[in-house]
Structure 1
């Protein structure tokens, strides 16, 4: 993806997550139903447990390296914003209007295709352009092209809205105490 810049370490972490959960599932299957005393099949728990500990330890080292070398450049971040990033917001807009998502996905794709074909950035398309694609677009569709609004719209737990992020930080700080 063009927005990614040397995300190898983060991709490795994502892969290790699957590995750790796989080991946990395997260990759970091995020990399920065992009586509370020693059983020979408990030997099968040692190898995944040791590998799990190593995987988590490696992941912590990788995350520490990523965070300790992370350089945030707000100007570059702003410069890399692209209206295509908001294509999902078009689909969400139509869902809020009662259009089924399977339909909105297709309509959003048509908007992207129109933008590319006409060489008009999506945030500069006219209301008439959107309505030519689908008549359910209203004047308020133009409000979808605000990056700040897009971020703030996702206010559920774990979302990107400032209030949600602050809540996540508060929870993590209490866990780390």
Structure 2
């Protein structure tokens, strides 16, 4: 999911908050990266399940009611391009940079409940195959086996096998974003929004 990047520190990402209409910001960032010949990573928080809780609290102090703010995650090259043209962009479009902070890490919580060993094995494989740069934190896993309940699942809420667990995925932003999407595709895994650690 993460786009290829060029330049120094390609794995550095920033949360940039822009004030202006979302559609205009979409077009502005796309045009900026295309014009520079850069294959950018541009992630709009509201489209990819990225929490903006602390952002809302911060912006309520500095933005007037009704202002349109847009949380965008940018790679370092795109962020630098935007920064260099910020004054011109603001003068010509009215879009302005409200906040610009480096992301030190990202994380999200998840939980799961499976009623068959093969589904539990699928989830276990997902957790075992996390890439370098991402780690599993506070993982809890519990299995309950009740042979006496076998065959009764269709009539009662009791199951002969149950595996449930929860945990947290933490690490580099782009890798956590990929894991978040992959976990979301599994029907038995529930995920929470991605939280950003900013510096």
Calculate the TM-score normalised by the size of structure 2. 0.21
Instruction: State which structure, 1 or 2, has the greater radius of gyration over its C-alpha atoms.
Output: 1
Q: Which has the higher strand share?
A: 2
Normalized against structure 1, the TM-score is what? 0.23
**Larger RCO, structures 1/2 (Cα 8 Å, 6+ apart):** 2
Q: Which has a greater percent of helix?
A: 1
